[in-house]
Amino acid sequence: MNESPINVAIVHCHFEPGGVTGVVQNHVDCLRSGEERESIGKIVLVSGKRVSGIRKSTLAHADAIQIPELDYDALAIDGLPSAKSSSGQSESEQSQTPKSSFERIKGFQRSDARHGSVAGQRLFELLDATLRHEGLRPEDSVIHWHNHSLGKNAGSPFAIAHLANAGWRLLLQIHDFAEDQRPENVQHLLEQTGATRSSTLDAILYPSHPNIAYACLTAGDADVLKEYGFPQSRVTTIPNSVRLPPGEMSSREAAIAKVAAAVSIAPTSKWVLYPVRGIRRKNVGEFLLVCQMLPDGFIGGLTLKPDTTLEAESYERWRAVAQAYVPNVVFDAAHHDNITYADNLSACHCVLSTSVAEGFGMAFLEPWLASRRVVARNLPTVTSDFAAEGVRQPNLYDGVWIPGEAAWVAEMKRQWSAAREQAWASLPADVRPHELDADAATGRSDAVDFACLPPSEQITTIMRSATDASFRKSIEELNTDLITSITADPPSDLIESNRRTIAIRYSPDVQCELLTNCYRALTSRSAEELDLIPTPPRSDDVRMMDLVARSHPFYPCRVEGHPVAQLPDDQR
């Protein structure tokens, strides 16, 4: 058994500010400070050129190397490698290299692969040479690759196959599935891999190899991989560690005075914080509607604006809706030079999350460490893990119910179904979900969950609630428990119980132990022993697309495209 320190190469397309970068930095910190830190040797962060999210404190514990070919395909000028590879081969010489093992998979047509397999070979050569240059070797190292299958870099799965065949041990950590309402990602993967069948794409994205293991943020996502056929020994749940945000946590009174001055609200306001980037899956329209129903003096604060074109278009649309109909909501609450996340969190009365999809759900846990309550839309694939660890969550809600006549309710359900079908319409029929998620839009004949409405109807609902007192009252009556959970003061024993539970169950030491156990399991066997491990059989009848669709409900706001729905011209 290998008892020497394990070197770790952590790989992602980029290290810009965001969820994956935060997880990676948590991992580095845990590996260097946890009780198992002596088990870890060199740590190398490998990514494309975009690395503005890496903190200096992280770089004090890990080296950072950029390989441009790792970044998103959409940012590449040309997906094909240059005329000379890293080994000096010309393109004609490269064509003589052994054929990829993927060509033996039924449904794979190399002639249709525009660059995925070629770019993957190039990426493998670069990674292999780079890691060896840094002193890492297959027998004493683990490549911890994040979100390899999301569809942002179609060469990654091919590079991973080559690395595994070359003896490198890999831990593939999935934060997000391309199959989870990201049809444009799946389409890109089909075009770039040459896959003509869903089962073929699955085999490329989720390779089964003795040198490969998988990790997920939640038990629900890990179950998807197990249902697909991976043995339990090859799939691990590694939740994030949770800690207080950087910065001094001040009293609520001092913090709200500081925040109020920055965002121009009364210092007596009760600050209802949504500490996220306002992208589509955060369901911003619902945040506006809920804030619209709150009593005078309650002010909603959405912290961060998106940084991509479509997400920014959606966000600015909701800003316009708020300016016209929900004046008690502040956008860009974190975009003030003198206001930190710690300030916003210290100032808040509670945290409110209306998100319809999360990879881990940090916003469900982090506020409790600051003694701030969380009210949130219930996401069972996320919240069930927290409950299993002992976190008490009495303020989860299952929907924001909008009343209506039977004909309107039926029409909204029809539009929901149409949006779901349209989201996947661009894909070949064989690749679309066959086993769709449980009908999130069904269940009542007198009301519809706001999140199941198309964005255009969400706008109409917010407008009507602002101008029709009886309609607004009927919404409030259907959602009394939700409003009360936001406005009431939480019991102190709940705050203290969750604070202690989260500090213990999601500590850096726990995460360090999980990580090192995964790394040891990969490096503890010799190459000869690994050759004896059988590859689990797979059936074409079990598809990742169906498994993911079954566990991740569909909501129209997630797939809204350009142009996004807007306020009527006469209402702007």
Q: What separation in angstroms does the CA of 112 have from each of 107, 173, 181, 200, 203?
A: 11, 28, 25, 13, 17
Q: Which residues of 352-365 are buried (b: 16+ CB within 10 A; e: fewer)?
A: bbbbbbbbbbbbbb
Integer Cα distance of 298 and 296 in angstroms: 6
pLDDT attached to residue 490: 86
Q: Which of 150, 97, 156, 101 is nearest to 127 (CA)?
A: 156
Helix, strand, coil share (%) of the chain residues, nearest 5: 45, 15, 40
**pLDDT over 50 at 273, yes or no:** yes
- Asked if residue 559 has pLDDT above 80, the reply is yes
Q: What is the pLDDT of residue 102?
A: 43
Residues 486 and 350 in one domain: yes
Contact 222, 201 (CB under 8 A): no
| 1 found inside a domain | no
Q: Per the structure block, which two tokens stand in for 189?
A: 């993967």
Other CB atoms closer than 10 Å to residue 264's CB: what's the count?
A: 7
Of 89, 71, 249, whose CA–CA distance to 152 is shortest?
A: 71
pLDDT at 435: 59
Tell me the HSE value of 220 on the side-chain side, using a 13 A CA sphere.
24
What would you report as the CA-atom Rg of the chain, rounded to the nearest whole angstrom?
Answer: 25
**pLDDT for res 257:** 98
3-state secondary structure labels for all residues of 143-210: EEEECCCCCCCCCHHHHHHHHHHCCCEEEEEECCCCCCCCHHHHHHHHHHHCECCHHHHHHHHCCCCC
Asked if the model's pLDDT at residue 109 lies above 70, the reply is no
pLDDT-based confidence at residue 97 (cuts at 50, 70, 90): very low
Does 185 score more than 80 pLDDT?
A: yes
| CB-facing half-sphere around the CA of 474: CA atoms within 13 A | 14
The residues, ordered by sequence, that sit 6+ positions from 61 with a Cβ below 8 Å of its Cβ are 28, 29, 31, 32, 43
Strands (E), 400-484: 401-403, 447-449
From the centroid of its chain, how far is CA 36?
27
The reply to whether 549 falls in a domain is: no
- Per-residue pLDDT for 436 more than 70? no
Unique residue bearing structure tokens 């009343």: 403
pLDDT at 110 over 50: no
Exposed (0-12), middle (13-18) or buried (19+): which is 24, by Cβ within 10 Å? buried
pLDDT at residue 474 greater than cutoff 80: yes
Do 337 and 458 belong to one domain? yes
- Which residues are paired to 397 by β-bridges? 377
Query: Residue 530 — very low, low, confident or very high, per pLDDT cuts 50/70/90?
Result: low
Place of tokens 């493998």: 124
Task: Indicate the pLDDT class of residue 137, thresholds 50, 70 and 90.
Answer: very high
- Same structural domain for residues 229 and 304? no
Instruction: Name the more confident of 38 and 486.
Output: 486
Structural domain span for residue 430: 252-502+555-571
In this structure, are 125 and 62 located in the same domain? Answer: yes
- Dig out the tokens for 498 from the structure: 């969750």
What's the rounded mean pLDDT across residues 105-125? 70
Q: Report the alpha-carbon distance of residue 374 to residue 361 in Å, rounded.
A: 11
Residue 476 lies in a domain: yes
Of residues 34 and 265, more confidently modeled: 265
Same domain? 276 vs 314: yes
550 is a domain residue: no
Asked whether the predicted pLDDT for residue 108 surpasses 50, the reply is: no
- 548 in a structural domain: no
pLDDT over threshold 80, residue 76:
no
**Higher pLDDT among residues 315 and 113, named by residue:** 315
Amino acid 151: pLDDT: 97
Q: Inform me whether the pLDDT recorded for 105 exceeds 50.
A: no
Please give the tally of structural domains in the chain.
Answer: 2
Instruction: Tell me the pLDDT of the chain averaged across its residues.
Output: 90
Q: What percent of the chain has pLDDT over 70?
A: 88
* 514 and 469 within one domain: no
The identity of residue 70, as a single letter, is L
The predicted structure's pLDDT at residue 84: 33
CA angle (146 as vertex; 145, 151 as ends), nearest 5: 110
> Whose structure tokens read 């991740």?
552
pLDDT category, 245, cuts 50, 70, 90?
confident
For residue 344, the SS3 value is helix
Give the β-pairing of 6-11 and 298-304: unpaired
In a domain, 522, yes or no: yes
Looking at the fold, whether 516 and 495 belong to one and the same domain comes out as no
Say whether both 388 and 263 belong to one domain.
yes
Position 20 pLDDT exceeds 80:
yes
User: Do 298 and 270 form a contact (C-beta atoms < 8 A)?
Assistant: yes
Query: pLDDT tens for residues 502-520?
Result: 999 999 999 999 999 999 9
200 and 272: one domain?
Answer: no
The CB-side HSE value for 211 (13 A sphere, CA atoms) comes to 22
pLDDT at 527 over 80: no
Do 107 and 87 share a structural domain? yes
Nearest to 14 by CA among 61, 74, 60, 57: 74
What's the whole-model pTM score? 0.89
Determine if the peptide bond prior to 327 is cis (ω within 30°). no
CA angle, residues 319, 323, 325, in degrees to nearest 5: 110
CA separation for the pair 369, 506 (Å, rounded): 11
CATH code, domain carrying 275: 3.40.50.2000
Residue 353 lies in a domain: yes
Query: Same structural domain for residues 88 and 188?
Result: yes
Both 525 and 442 in one domain: the answer is no
